[in-house]
Amino acid sequence: MTRVGSHGELRRQSRVIRALGSDFVASVLEAGDRQLHRAPHTAALIDGWPDDPSSAALAMRFNAALHALARGGNVADLSALYQREHDEFDRAIGGALAAHDDFIIRWMQEPTQTNEVARAAGFAAALMALRVRTGMPVELLEIGSSCGLNLNLARYRYDLDGVIAGDPASPVRIAPEWRGMTPVAAPIEVVAARGVDLNPLDAADRRARARLLAFVWADQPRRIERLKTALRIARAHPPELTRADATLWLPEQVAAPQSEGVCRVVFHSMVIQYLGRAARSAVIDAIHAAGARATDARPFAWLSFEWTEGREKVELALTCWPDGARRVLATCHPYGEWFDWHG
């Protein structure tokens, strides 16, 4: 695999981020590209990254490290930049890189944590379609759960092109731009929800909350407030999370007895890109093995919110067993800002 190199990766991702609507984060990455020589350890980490830097989201790790420094309030000029008190990107970011190279490199060595609850709008619409198909409540199994916020998806309120779903009294209100067909209205009934992550975050842990908030783009305050509210719900209703390798956890979960009249659903969002080839194959094999055991009384479904293989677009796909039919339900914004629903 050809390495893009540190400067090339930050510059390339700045163009992607600007196209996704975040001029501020794009400017952060552009200034980081120009000033990275002031943080030699961080530059060496990105230049020497052994795998695809885009799949590893190195630019997002870099941006989040700076956001964390700014939120911490110990780098006055950087905090002032993030609070829009000035627009001297090169000065503030260059100074932060020079003074906090070791902090940034430690932050970037940890995996990304973007437990974006707006993606749950797609899952909610898919579960409504699944309810119409099966007439059953669901049991949810999530891989790559992070803090498990999307395991609480039935506790959120959704407005999907005028279709109100979920908990109408929820303080987490998700109303993405909806394109294409209007989704079918149906109950979202979750009888059990469990998740797995190599490094699950605890919503009760202040540092874990700070890490999640740092990964939200600083110029999107609505996302930040929605995340804070979802974290409060997670503290009141802690998701059931297991610290484990998904390739070991998932086969055990799907092999466990399944209640009659309940549809078991494996779901994930922006996880596949972080799995190696062997791990990805193991997860998919476990899913297909579970599908092969499905019956009309005990159906099984696979719901994925992921980039296409060539990273041209993000798709929400649903595969249902016992027939194994797969449908691409929607093309999506990576963070759930909009859905083009195909139905």
Q: Say whether pLDDT at 4 is over 80.
A: no
Average pLDDT over residues 174-186: 96
What would you measure as the largest C-alpha separation in the chain, in angstroms?
63
User: If pLDDT is split at 50, 70 and 90, which confidence band does 5 have?
Assistant: very low
Q: Say whether pLDDT at 2 is over 50.
A: no
Look at residue 165 and tell me if it is in a domain: yes
- Which among 343, 322, 180 is positioned nearest to 264, based on CA atoms? 322
Residues 100, 142 within the same domain: no
The answer to whether 120 and 78 have CB atoms below 8 angstroms apart is no
The residue with tokens 């987490």 is 172
Q: What is the structure's pLDDT at 73?
A: 84
Q: What is the structure's pLDDT at 21?
A: 83
Q: Say whether pLDDT at 325 is over 50.
A: yes
Q: What is the structure's pLDDT at 332?
A: 96
Q: Which domain holds residue 287?
A: 117-341
pLDDT digits (tens, 9 = 90+) for 113-169: 788 999 999 999 999 999 999 999 999 999 999 999 999 999 999 999 999 999 999
The three-state (H, E, C) secondary structure of 73-141, written as one string: CCCHHHHHHHCCCCCCHHHHHHHHHHHCHHHHHHHHCCCCCCCCHHHHHHHHHHHHHHHHHHCCCEEEE
Q: What is the structure's pLDDT at 216?
A: 92
Residues 99, 137 within the same domain: no
Residues 154, 39 within the same domain: no
Q: What is the structure's pLDDT at 165?
A: 97
- Which among 168, 173, 158 is positioned nearest to 122, based on CA atoms? 158
Residues 129, 48 within the same domain: no
Q: What is the structure's pLDDT at 3?
A: 40
User: If pLDDT is split at 50, 70 and 90, which confidence band does 275 have?
Assistant: confident
Domain count, the chain: 2
The residue with tokens 């939120």 is 71
CATH number for the domain spanning 202: value is 3.40.50
Q: What does the mean pLDDT of the chain come to?
A: 93
Look at residue 129 and tell me if it is in a domain: yes
Q: Which residue has the higher pLDDT, 142 or 272?
A: 142
The answer to whether 326 and 318 have CB atoms below 8 angstroms apart is yes
Q: What is the structure's pLDDT at 237?
A: 97
Q: Say whether pLDDT at 329 is over 70.
A: yes
Residues 18, 126 within the same domain: no
d(CA 321, CA 287): 10
Look at residue 1 and tell me if it is in a domain: no
Q: In this structure, which amino acid lies at residue 196?
A: V
Q: Say whether pLDDT at 262 is over 90.
A: yes
**Domain end (from 108, 130, 146):** 108
Cα dist from 5 to 1, 107, 222, 317, whole Å? 12, 19, 33, 33
Q: What is the structure's pLDDT at 250?
A: 97
H-type helices in 150-263, by residue range? 206-214, 221-236, 246-255
DSSP single-letter state for residue 169: T
Q: What is the structure's pLDDT at 163?
A: 97
Report pTM.
0.88
Q: Say whether pLDDT at 7 is over 70.
A: no
Which tokens is 42 given? 């961080």
d(CA 103, CA 193): 36
The answer to whether 247 and 198 have CB atoms below 8 angstroms apart is no
Q: What is the structure's pLDDT at 74?
A: 85
Look at residue 25 and tell me if it is in a domain: yes
- Which among 116, 151, 120 is positioned nearest to 238, based on CA atoms? 151
**Domain end (from 108, 137, 159):** 108
Q: Say whether pLDDT at 1 is over 70.
A: no
Q: In this structure, which amino acid lies at residue 126?
A: A
Residues 50, 85 within the same domain: yes
- Which among 194, 186, 170 is positioned nearest to 125, based on CA atoms? 186
The answer to whether 290 and 264 have CB atoms below 8 angstroms apart is yes
Q: Say whether pLDDT at 254 is over 50.
A: yes
Residues 31, 132 within the same domain: no
